[in-house]
Amino acid sequence: MSTMTFLMLAATFLPLLGALGLLAVPKENRRAFEVGAVAITIVSFLMSVPFWFDALGMAGEMHKVQWAWAVDWIPSMGVKFSVGMDGISLILWLLTTFLGPIGAACSWGNIDERHKEYYVWLLVLQTSMLGVFIVQDMFVFYVFWEIMLVPMYFLIGIWGGPQKLYAAIKLFLYTLGGSVLMLVAILAIYFLQHTATGTYDFSIASFQAMASTIAQQSHTFQILIALAFFVGFAIKVPMFPFHTWLPDAHVQAPTAGSVILAGILLKMGTYGFLRFMLPIVPNATKELLPWFVALSIIGIIYGALVAMIQKDMKKLVAYSSVSHLGLCMLGMFAFNPNAMKGALFQMVNHGISTPGLFLAVSVVYERRHTRMIADYGGLSKTMPVYATIFMIMTMSSIGLPGLNGFIGEFAILAGTFQTWPWAAVLATTGIILGAAYMLWMYQRVMFGPINAVNAEMADLNTREILVFAPLVVAAFWLGLYPKPLMTLLEAPVAKLVEQVSPGYHAAARLAEVQAKAAATGMRGMEAPPEAHGAAAGEGHAVAAPEGHAAPAAGAKAPEHGGH
């Protein structure tokens, strides 16, 4: 095991070890749990930072699983405890370690009972989420995927709001239902693999290698596998119409629960699509694509419309997630590098801006114990620092250029436009509505005359500013200098696109060469006299658009692209 692999495992399991350590502390020591949880997650984050630089150093290789290591677990079933990350896992893993300390630190102000259990569950949750992103074995993946649900269930069920049990059970049943469907798909492929190769192997790579075998199975089989994966992951994302657990869970969850739910848990769904559904059943996915695109579009617009009329701030932000994740899914289903990279970028963005918004809601909730928009107004007057940070998070969420949200949205829309122009145009409606509901909420909460109760509210304290600070820095950094993250995504996305549409890149390269040839012809034509130039110009005018249209054509009809 290399040092980096050890570090990866250490960063992943440190929260769990820390949780075990905290179990030994008597439960009266509230401060010990608070400080302990923050310290443990910060150390875990610091341990994860070197991976960013290591990965940037070998960005061209990030489509492969790096820092890999494996040990047999249940040999008779082909189960290995194998770990490692490619570029896609890495960024989500880093997002998780990044949000860990924020989740722990924001809990200081709103958890008033049973501190020991709370922070222990929070740390267990952290390890289970980190585990999902590093494992390279289907079986172990499923174990982590399910374990994750337990701490979340308790976080909402014990420390949640008035309807916490309804919300917790709903969350549990929904996601469990999705997981079981996913399990059925996994087992079907597992046994198919045994029939085809005679071996039992749970490794994700071997599952992805099954794509060609699956493509030879019956049409119904392929569609059923695709649908099982789709429903399983769509619930987690959540896509319309599987989304109604989300507003309930968010509204009832304690702040850290909302932060982690929005920041990481929802990304599990999108991660599942990228890791399993698209590479394993590309043909069936493509066949069902119009439906998926339609659901994404409905999610974008529907989520935005419903968010607009919410009176509860948390519910509004929750519905905005439905809308934003719809955009992510649309980018993913566009099946070209720009849109897919945009979708991944947008996952990270959503993991920054939405937790920021939930934190912003919790700040006023902790002071006034209400989340109703109508109870506030004019807070800018007494809380200028809060007003500024809330504004930055709002702008990040609605995609103001210069902040992170814009880069992802733009890449998604530009990429989608190449494949599904009308879908891209429809998606922009959601972006207009997004500005409308966010700024309308901001206006009603922060502007206008202030009443006597709210005039007493204190501005952010140092701890709160420190909790927001990393999110604000990340929002600016990704908005102003998105290149490193985009570079990391380059190779894995290229591989993914190739898995989904074999021959895509060859076709794109061909188009590029053609375009270049056309451009060279153009340059030569500047010298000759008017008449000749005009005649040649017409010919090239036709040639150039053809050359650029080729990538899109390649995406739609990959079998024409040469291998």
Task: Give the footprint of other proteins on this chain (CB under 8 A).
Answer: 170, 241, 244, 247, 302, 305-306, 308-310, 336-338, 341-342, 378, 380-381, 388, 395, 400-402, 406-407, 410-411, 413-414, 417-418, 424-425, 428, 431-432, 435-436, 439-440, 443, 446-450, 480-483, 486-487, 489-490, 508, 512, 515, 519, 522, 525, 537-538, 540-541, 544-545, 548, 551-552
Compute the least distance from the CB of residue 21 to other proteins, in Å: 40
- For residue 136, CA distances in Å to 140, 201, 204, 299 come to 8, 12, 5, 31
Q: How far apart are the C-alpha atoms of 289 and 213, rounded to whole Å?
A: 21
Compute the least distance from the CB of residue 480 to other proteins, in Å: 8
Hey, which bits of 79-183 come out as E strands? Answer: 79-85
Q: How far apart are the C-alpha atoms of 85 and 72, rounded to whole Å?
A: 18
- 10 Å Cβ neighbour count for 544? 16
Here the tokens at position 263 are 């920041």
User: Would you give the DSSP letter of residue 108?
Assistant: G
Q: How far apart are the C-alpha atoms of 87 and 110, rounded to whole Å?
A: 35
Compute the least distance from the CB of residue 271 to other proteins, in Å: 20
User: Would you give the DSSP letter of residue 135?
Assistant: B
Identify which of residues 99 and 318 has a Cβ nearer to other proteins in the complex: 318
Compute the least distance from the CB of residue 91 to other proteins, in Å: 14
Compute the least distance from the CB of residue 441 to other proteins, in Å: 10
Compute the least distance from the CB of residue 123 to other proteins, in Å: 31
Q: If we measure between CA atoms, which residue out of 98, 122, 104, 103 comes closest to residue 48?
A: 98
User: What would the 3-class secondary structure string for 393-441 be?
Assistant: HHHHHCCCECEHHHHHHHHHHHHHHHHCHHHHHHHHHHHHHHHHHHHHH
Compute the least distance from the CB of residue 412 to other proteins, in Å: 10
Identify which of residues 29 and 428 has a Cβ nearer to other proteins in the complex: 428
Identify which of residues 7 and 414 has a Cβ nearer to other proteins in the complex: 414
Compute the least distance from the CB of residue 122 to other proteins, in Å: 28
Identify which of residues 59 and 149 has a Cβ nearer to other proteins in the complex: 59
Q: How far apart are the C-alpha atoms of 494 and 491, rounded to whole Å?
A: 5
Identify which of residues 291 and 481 has a Cβ nearer to other proteins in the complex: 481
Q: How far apart are the C-alpha atoms of 475 and 261, rounded to whole Å?
A: 19
Identify which of residues 109 and 521 has a Cβ nearer to other proteins in the complex: 521
Identify which of residues 221 and 440 has a Cβ nearer to other proteins in the complex: 440
18-41 in b/e form (b: 16+ CB < 10 A) is bbeebeeeeeeeeebbbebbbebb
Identify which of residues 204 and 424 has a Cβ nearer to other proteins in the complex: 424
Identify which of residues 196 and 436 has a Cβ nearer to other proteins in the complex: 436
Compute the least distance from the CB of residue 259 to other proteins, in Å: 23
First to last CA, the chain: 37
Q: How far apart are the C-alpha atoms of 258 and 244, rounded to whole Å?
A: 15
